[in-house]
Amino acid sequence: MAPLGFAVRSSLVRHTVEHDPAALDRALADETRLSILYAGDTPIMRVGPPLTSLLSQRDFTMPADHLEQVLLGDYNDRPLVATLLPKTAAEIFAADPSYFVKDLRSIATDLLLPEGEIGLLAAAKSLLGWHDRHRFCANCGHPTKAIAAGFRRDCAHCNAQHFPRTDPVAIMLITSGDKCLLGRSNHFAQGRFSCLAGFIEPGETAEAAVRRETFEETGIRVGEVRYLQSQPWPFPSNLMIGMHGIAIDEEITVDKHELDDARWFTRDEIRQMFDERHPEGFNLPPAVAIAHHLLKSFLEG
């Protein structure tokens, strides 16, 4: 089976907020360090062979107008620093044949980079995006400053401390015997069906979110719920929590504000969709998405 996209599977030893606050300065002074560059939401890669997003000191000159920097940790015993550049930097790098510029979702979907690098790019995107969206204090509105090697922002006016956040999302494989429940939204690709999903609300368990979201979107009531697997999803910074729920009933009532359609599909139909031979042209999410893997597990029993 194809690897689950955006999960860090590498030798990265993560830096965290509890570590030495001078760690970022030391990393930036280390001539062996590796860098991940983002121009806005777009990663910058060096043309190979092989194509890579892990740039060494000799690969580029750091632009003076960089916005934020985060020490992700040590990668193969070398400091790994993620840097946010203005969006306009993407055009500058794209004009240089030494570099390759493409959005992260496409990089992962098209398997353009090694599995380990995709996870590092996802971690960098989530952290740099958080900095870009939290330049002002949610408590008093004054500007905040990045500290702790980029794993915290402090407000000098009210002394509030702000930490990177991850938003949990329940994504559920709902089954009834030999069938599973899938839906499609109007922003999906043509013919695409996927597992239902929704944000976990404050004070709510993942299991309760599965039952609530399924009932709200399709009118289906769910009984037993269990955890399957999870996936970081850096758009902007979510954690997809894959769950399996057993339906109590099968009569669908679609909430048209949430979904265009929802249907029960048999294992044979899911197999046809994986093989791209469904008679109605229906298809499933690509291997980069956790829904693909949840449906693989259903197909395999």
How many other CB atoms are found less than 10 A from the CB of residue 212? 16
Residue 30: the pLDDT is 95
Residue 17: the pLDDT is 59
Is residue 209 domain-shared with residue 112, that is, in the same domain?
A: no
Residue 2 counted as domain residue: no
Residue that is last in its domain, among 131, 162, 193? 162
Q: For the chain (length 301 residues), average pLDDT per consecutive 10?
A: 76 77 92 96 94 92 88 94 96 96 95 90 96 96 95 96 96 98 95 98 98 98 97 96 98 96 98 97 96 96 82
Residue 5 counted as domain residue: no
Residue that is last in its domain, among 119, 144, 162? 162
Residue 73 counted as domain residue: yes
Residue 1: the pLDDT is 52
Residue 2: the pLDDT is 63
Q: What CATH number did the domain enclosing 289 receive?
A: 3.90.79.10
Closest listed residue to residue 292, CA positions, set 192, 161, 202: 192
Domain encompassing residue 18: 13-162
Spatial distance between the Cα atoms of 152 and 131, rounded to a whole number of angstroms? 9
Whether pTM > 0.85 for this model: the answer is yes
Is residue 176 domain-shared with residue 293, that is, in the same domain?
A: yes
Is residue 120 domain-shared with residue 261, that is, in the same domain?
A: no
Spatial distance between the Cα atoms of 68 and 225, rounded to a whole number of angstroms? 41
Residue 6 counted as domain residue: no
Is residue 254 domain-shared with residue 232, that is, in the same domain?
A: yes
Residue 1 counted as domain residue: no
Is residue 260 domain-shared with residue 288, that is, in the same domain?
A: yes
Residue 96 counted as domain residue: yes
Is residue 214 domain-shared with residue 152, that is, in the same domain?
A: no
Residue 3 counted as domain residue: no
Is residue 140 domain-shared with residue 205, that is, in the same domain?
A: no
Spatial distance between the Cα atoms of 217 and 105, rounded to a whole number of angstroms? 26
Q: What CATH number did the domain enclosing 93 receive?
A: 3.90.79.20
Residue that is last in its domain, among 101, 128, 162? 162
Is residue 20 domain-shared with residue 153, that is, in the same domain?
A: yes
Is residue 19 domain-shared with residue 68, that is, in the same domain?
A: yes
Domain count within the chain:
2
Residue 7 counted as domain residue: no
Residue 116: the pLDDT is 84
Strands 167-176 and 179-184: antiparallel
Is residue 179 domain-shared with residue 259, that is, in the same domain?
A: yes
Is residue 154 domain-shared with residue 205, that is, in the same domain?
A: no
Residue 86: the pLDDT is 95
Is residue 93 domain-shared with residue 195, that is, in the same domain?
A: no
